[in-house]
Amino acid sequence: MPDAITPQAGAHATTLGTGFTDNPYLPDVATVLETVQETPTIKTLRVRIDDPARMESFRFNPGQVGQLSLFGVGESTFVINSPPTRMDYLQFSIMRAGEVTAALHGLKPGDKVGVRAPLGNWFPFEDMRGKDIVFVGGGIGMAPLRTLLLYMLDNRADYGNITLLYGARTPSDMAFRDDVQEWLGRSDMQTTLTVDQAPEDWPHRAGLIPHVLLDLAPSNANSVAVLCGPPIMIKFTVEALKKLHFADEQIITTLERRMKCGIGICGRCNIGTKYVCMDGPVFTYAELRDLPNEL
Amino acid sequence: MSFARYIARGELARALDDMARGRVTYAPRREGDAVVFRPRAEGEEPLLARATVPPKGVIFPQSERLFAFIREKDPNDPGHTTVRLDSTVDIEPALIFGGRPCDARGFHIFDRVYLNGPHRDPYYAARREATVVVTLACNKAGSTCFCHWTGCGPADTTGSDILLTPVGEGADAGFVAVAVTERGGAVLEAANLPEADAARSDAAQAVHAATQAALDAQSPARDLSATPARLLERFSDSDFWRDMSDKCLSCGACTYLCPTCYCFNITDENDGGDGMRGRRLRSWDNCMSSLFTREASGHNPRMGKALRLRNRVGHKFSYYPQLHEGVVSCNGCGRCITGCPVSVDIREMVVRATEANEETPNA
Ligand SMILES: Cc1cc2nc3c(=O)[nH]c(=O)nc-3n(C[C@H](O)[C@H](O)[C@H](O)COP(=O)(O)OP(=O)(O)OC[C@H]3O[C@@H](n4cnc5c(N)ncnc54)[C@H](O)[C@@H]3O)c2cc1C
Ligand code: SF4
Ligand code: SF4
Ligand code: FES
């Protein structure tokens, strides 16, 4: 590979390599297959990388992210929220937050995007085998959990009890409706939904996630809790898990940082010596406790 | 492979022409109050003054194209467009003349991240490979120089291909040129220069020693090996960081003038409004800017300037050394001190963070 970027004697134009392994900044061009309006602010894109060989050989683990881009607008970080056990497409669910996300919301099937993936680390799904799993997702934080949950459901025998607590502000802010319906109907997992304010006809729970979690009181014995959501939800959910005697090592979460390169070079996403794009985004609470407090 | 040649002062322009054959030479030039690196014309007498801006932009341009995108209407389906990416870059063989050891060591700080990390940066790698670094050893210590604290020094060769040391006076003035790398050796050979005799080589050694002594007299060298841990102990001392950053304007000048600051942003740019053509760029960015870590939710882990300054000092003197075998990612060039509009002094922060803890080791 170095040959491709070594300038030839006398030649002043050097072509840098193409493809992710050669040039980590060069995205794969991908096509939007399908879009789903999940909530008023969250839209799901299902995409396939155009190069069939690339798509065929694409591998990732649950929790890994990608830089998704719209050429001419920019790049942003999203978790690949389809599971690696279903590789017909890569799914990203995007909450409208700013410039890139608003533009991504405007895409239709057939449109082109750029994908730099997979980036970052992943949930320790191997170490979680044989354990009971408690998922706690808030808002768009359900996206990374979806990947892991679907992976576990596709390998159901490997895991113990699976509990899901999914909260959103209002019923219409709940994403992944079809999945949620299916999860509610499954006998091999316990699904609880909650909203901050419940309308009359809401058949599920009302109240903030940490309160509902204390009520559900999942056992800490041989369990792992996996959380994802806004910083404030994480903070109080961790407190609730502590009350339920979960150890720091039994709590897993993902961190958000403003990322650009995604490969540990641009220097943007550090917390002390850790780079969220390389050492994360998945951390145990025990690891977070040892980081400088800059969350 | 290390060998020494002698360049008489009057021969310098000619020798440089020979060394730079087939390369663009970047040499210090005065522009207003600043001394900056600019392409040098053949035969041009180079300025030997210490540049106010380091030459990092030659290898890591302030803004560079990662690739161009070209959108074309899909002939089979005119409603849709296809996208082609073009990552061709023009990289010219180059030579940087007249940077100081602290400037050259800056490239070494980059190398550890851009070449030897888990992902090799192909743009940086190509420019680094195509660029010969000819460094001028210092024979005079500036009042803000503290390279001797940081593992660098007035004759350090780290990051250089050739080191030139000024020797002699008046009619006998010249330079001893030592090849540091094989690439430097090849370039130096091409200049067809006489060998530096023992007397001149000794004179070069004496210049190194004298400059080192002048630096030591100015401020005693410090052992910074405990500083990474000490800075971490200071992490939550908000009074300390507020005090240190009181004057700071968050202008970021310190980072742009720094030979070791390597952070960047990635943005897209369109040609015209139809979005059919454009490019993805990367540009220098800096952690002193309030938007650097602002997340889309509005949450900003480094909201105040005290927290941003803490990251800048922490990165150079604590996080980087912890990740890179104790190497400090500050070369003590002092440019951030001289360039700061309100004279924030990184030396003072490092000393105070370290010393305050020395007084109260258990704090
Ligand atoms: C590991 C990880 C996983 C993630 N997964 C998901 C996911 O699955 N789904 C999801 O929806 N989100 C996810 N996110 C969050 C997502 O990356 C952000 O919401 C997204 O980057 C916002 O991009 P944007 O361009 O739309 O917003 P921007 O337009 O970049 O920013 C939003 C706001 O900040 C301001 N701003 C920010 N930076 C600057 C700047 N440099 N200069 C000027 N103004 C600025 C803008 O003006 C704007 O108001 C994830 C983030 C991380 C780090
Ligand atoms: S140059 Fe000085 S004022 Fe500007 S950001 Fe740096 S420390 Fe602050
Ligand atoms: S931090 Fe300041 S003194 Fe250190 S290398 Fe950068 S500009 Fe020079
Ligand atoms: S996003 Fe660039 S270092 Fe992490």
Please give the pLDDT value at position B358.
56
Substitution target in A254, A265, A288 with the highest count of B β-carbons within 10 Å is A265
State how far the alpha carbon of A232 is from the alpha carbons of A6, A132, A205, A295, B298, in Å.
Answer: 49, 25, 20, 11, 13
What CA–CA distance (Å, rounded) separates B286 from A267? 9
From A18-27, A28-37, A48-57, A119-128, the region with the lowest mean pLDDT: A18-27
> Which chain A residues are within 8 Å of B301, Cβ to Cβ?
257, 271, 294-295
Pair of tokens at residue B200: 């001149």
| Closest ligand, as measured to the CA of B309 | 2
Cα of B355 from ligand 2 centre, angstroms: 23
Q: What is the ipTM of this complex?
A: 0.90
- Which residues are CB-contacts of A15 (< 8 A; sequence separation ≥ 6)? A4, B87, B88, B89
What's the average model confidence in pLDDT over B128-152?
Answer: 95
Cα of B106 from ligand 3 centre, angstroms: 9
Nearest Cα residue in chain A from B308? A294
Taking only the tens place, the pLDDT of each residue in B9-22 is: 999 999 999 999 99
Q: Yes or no: say if B81 and B71 are a contact pair by the CB < 8 Å rule.
A: yes
What's the average model confidence in pLDDT over A249-264?
Answer: 93
- Helix A177-185 with A142-154: angle, nearest 10 deg: 50
Read off the pLDDT band of B362 (50, 70, 90). Answer: very low
Half-sphere exposure of B244 (CA within 13 A, CB side): 27
Q: Would the CB atoms of B129 and A6 count as touching at under 8 Å?
A: yes
Read off the pLDDT band of B356 (50, 70, 90). Answer: low
Among candidate residues A247, A253, A201, A200, the one with its CA nearest the CA of residue A229: A253
Taking only the tens place, the pLDDT of each residue in B235-288 is: 888 998 999 899 999 999 999 999 999 999 999 999 987 888 999 999 999 999
Give the 3-state secondary structure of chain B. CCCEEEEEHHHHHHHHHHHCCCCEEEEEEEECCEEEEEEECCCCCCCCCCCCCCCHHHHCCCEEEEEEEEEEEECCEEEEEEEEEECEEECCCEEEEEECHHHHHHHHHHHHHHCCCCCCCHHHHHHHHHEEEEEECCCCCCCCCCHHHCCCCCCCCCCCCEEEEEECCHHHCEEEEEECCHHHHHHHHHCCCCECCHHHHHHHHHHHHHHHHHHHHHCCCCCCCCHHHHHHHCCCCHHHHHHHHCCCCCCCHHHHCCCCCCCEEEEEEECCCCCCEEEEEEEECCCCCCCCCCCCCCCCCCCCHHHHHHHHHHHHHHHHHHHCCCCCCCCCCCHHHHHCCCCCCHHHHHHHHHHHHHHCCCC
Substitution target in B71, B76, B266, B274 with the highest count of A β-carbons within 10 Å is B266
Please give the pLDDT value at position A5.
40
Handedness of CA A84, A88, A89, A93 (dihedral sign): negative
Comparing A7 with B57, the larger pLDDT belongs to: B57
Taking only the tens place, the pLDDT of each residue in B185-203 is: 999 999 989 999 999 999 9
Nearest Cα residue in chain A from B124? A5
Please give the pLDDT value at position B357.
58
Instruction: Please tell me the pTM assigned to this model.
Output: 0.91
Q: What is the mean pLDDT of chain A?
A: 90
Residue A7 pLDDT greater than 80, yes or no: no
How far is it between the farthest Cα atoms of chain B?
Answer: 78
Among candidate residues B53, B59, B143, the one with its CA nearest the CA of residue B100: B53
Residue B360 pLDDT greater than 80, yes or no: no
Taking only the tens place, the pLDDT of each residue in A68-105 is: 999 999 999 999 999 999 899 999 999 999 999 999 99
> What are φ and ψ of residue B128, in 5° steps?
-65, -45
Nearest Cα residue in chain A from B128? A6
Share of chain B above pLDDT 70, in %: 97
Pair of tokens at residue A228: 């994802």
Q: Would the CB atoms of A2 and B91 count as touching at under 8 Å?
A: no
Read off the pLDDT band of B161 (50, 70, 90). Answer: very high
What CA–CA distance (Å, rounded) separates A112 from A206? 40
